[in-house]
Amino acid sequence: FMFIFNTQILLIGISDTFHLVLTIVSATVASMMFAAATQGFFIAKSRIHENLILLLVTFTLFRPGYWMDMLYPPFEEVPATEFGRLVEEAPRNGNLRVWVEGMSLEGQDISKGVLLPLGEKAGNARERLGAIGLTTMALGDQVQVAAVRFGSQAEKLGLEQGYNIVRIELPSGERPDKEWMYIPAFALIALVWAMQKPRQRRREAERTAGRSRA
């Protein structure tokens, strides 16, 4: 299931050879740590807290973006009042990530994110939205969907008349690569190794002593 959250495991979005090697190594180590945690043995028999650490390492290596997103959010929120300006300024064939709320025709409360495809540049925001079958109007600090043309892209996105665009999300600026989270993950592996090493030595010493007595 980790493939759903980290498509790099499927070698999607790999930028160069180093990135490929890093992805393969991290996925391999993550699988080994998961096996060690489920078997209850790393270099010695693991204690409960050591198994939990290894599971945490597994998750981090498979899904480093989870922690990076907590530290550096991938999107910044912009008030809906900026909607018209952002539609006009968006590049050709650009997209705009918006959150809408409202009640569907079936009477269900809806709150969801929609990625609006803006297509070609136009003279103004109204014309550009009209090309995808969407008409909006400003209402205070929100923007309301005034009309959705039948069979249009806007309708296919599930937008309906009366929905409110409550906020917009824009990609954040430069963020550290999520692969930096591998460093604390490998540090935790080293910690578990250090905790288990004395027990491994004692076990080997006991085995040696047993063979000597035999």
The per-residue pLDDT for range 46-90, each reduced to its tens digit, is 999 999 999 999 999 999 989 999 999 989 999 999 999 999 999
Q: Is the dihedral of CA 108, 111, 115, 118 positive or negative?
A: positive
Percentage, residues of the chain above pLDDT 70: 96
Q: Residue 69 phi/psi, 5° resolution?
A: -65, -30
| Interval 156-177 mean pLDDT | 91
Q: Do 163 and 144 meet the contact criterion of CB atoms below 8 Å apart?
A: yes
Give the model's pLDDT for residue 188: 97
CA 171 to chain centre: 13
- Look at residue 203 and tell me whether its pLDDT is greater than 90: no
| Interval 87-105 mean pLDDT | 91
Q: With cut-offs at 50, 70 and 90, classify the pLDDT of residue 132.
A: very high
Q: With cut-offs at 50, 70 and 90, classify the pLDDT of residue 5.
A: low
pLDDT tens track for 108-121 = 899 999 999 998 88
Q: Do 185 and 178 meet the contact criterion of CB atoms below 8 Å apart?
A: no
